[in-house]
Amino acid sequence: MSKTVIELQNIKRNFRVGDETVHALRGVSFSIGEGEFVTIMGTSGSGKSTLMNMLGCLDTPTSGKYVLDGQDVASMTDNQLADVRNKEIGFIFQGFNLISNLDAVGNVELPLVYRGVSKNERKQLAMEALKSVGLEDRMKHKPNEMSGGQQQRVAVARAVAAKPPIILADEPTGNLDTKSTQEIMEILKELHRSGRTVIIITHDEEIASQAHRVIRILDGRIEEDYCNR
């Protein structure tokens, strides 16, 4: 059995919308072991985005307990949550979220600035990460000089440059064509093979079928949790 790196215990998240209370998560419980490759599946409104925010320490639960690599994050301060996000999790978003006036190296370096990494080491880590996703010939290119697939590979490089143990990808192929989608999936599989814990939030059955484990969420509850292989 691998070490448990994520454990959710009866997580609930409520939001006030006008006079109503929206129950986005209704008692979600599961654990993820070190080195797992998991997809969290759900349609729009299922609660998967709220769950992703919870897993990524971008939000805290209304009630319940969330333990990340032995740390109880449900009761952390904003500064403590930011520190955990910076060190433990590499984020990949559907919209790339690249800075338009920075080249590929500059975009990958940016999170390393917040980690206090020295200038020379930042550049070295950024270049290594870009090489690992096949962009050694695009390091000086800005986002508007690259295709969607190349921009997403920069986003992947940015997520992995600091070598975080967990990769959290939110619809990482949602804006990509079929060829670029498979390229990104192959990179994520390679990250998994290298020992990273990879979690993909998606509504795409084809993406889910490539993970080793699928957690399906519906109306704020876990509907299914099964292994593909």
Cβ–Cβ under 8 Å, residues 170 and 91 = yes
The DSSP 8-state label assigned to residue 214 in this structure reads E
**3-class SS at 38?**
strand
Q: How far apart are CA 212 and CA 210, in angstroms?
A: 7
Widest Cα–Cα separation across the chain = 54
Q: How far apart are CA 220 and CA 207, in angstroms?
A: 21
| Half-sphere exposure at residue 203, Cβ-oriented, CA atoms within 13 angstroms | 12
Q: How far apart are CA 113 and CA 226, in angstroms?
A: 39
Model pTM score: 0.92
Which of 43-63 are b and which e, b meaning 16 or more Cβ less than 10 Å from the residue's Cβ? eeebbbbbbbbbbbbebbbee
pLDDT in tens, the chain (229 residues): 589 999 999 999 999 999 999 999 999 999 999 999 999 999 888 999 999 999 999 998 999 999 999 999 878 888 988 888 888 999 998 888 899 999 999 999 998 988 889 999 999 999 999 999 999 999 999 999 999 999 999 999 999 998 999 999 999 988 888 998 999 999 999 999 999 999 999 999 999 999 999 999 999 999 999 998 7
Of 152, 180, 27, 25, which is closest to residue 94 (Cα–Cα)? 152
Query: How are the residues of the chain apportioned to helix, strand and coil, as percentages rounded to the nearest 5?
Result: 35, 30, 35
**Torsion sign, CA atoms 112, 195, 7, 204:** positive
